[in-house]
Amino acid sequence: MPRHYSILRWSCTRCAKVYRLGEQAGAGSKVKIINQLLAGVHIAAAAEAMALGLREGVDAHALYEVITHSAGNSWMFENRMAHVLAADYTPLSAVDIFVKDLGLVLDMARASKFPLPLSSTAHQMFMQASTAGFAKEDDSAVIKIFPGIELPQKA
């Protein structure tokens, strides 16, 4: 085991899990970018699903209850759509964070000429939300790009 990994493992015994990702430098950064790919796509898909439900007249709270107990659930749906239901767009992670992060995802893929159609679409959704004035709002505000829906209001 390389000495730097031993030191890191010892110093992080009280923090998050440390993963061994191989001998090459940079693997951790790549895994972080790939995680952000999934996070961004999941938030965009969650917003799209909730927006479709709203457009179709489904009660938002009922939709949330069913989806969070079904195979279509994701951690991002459960977490971010709770913000939408509460009409609380206080930024915990802002729209512009995903403009940046999905941009990094696409840059990495572009460098190896690897197509990412879902990530590209999610990036465009966050870009649209940002340019519509929601840049500093919580990333769940990406739902605000959908026309013809009435979002839940603060109680």
**Which residues are marked as active site?**
32
What distance in Å separates the CA atoms of residue 133 and residue 126, rounded to the nearest whole number? 11
CB 132 within 8 A of CB 144: yes
Are the C-beta atoms of 80 and 46 separated by less than 8 Å?
A: yes
- Compute the half-sphere exposure of residue 76: CA atoms within 13 Å on the CB side of its CA: 21
CB 138, CB 93: distance < 8 Å: yes
Q: How far apart are CA 50 and CA 7, in angstroms?
A: 45
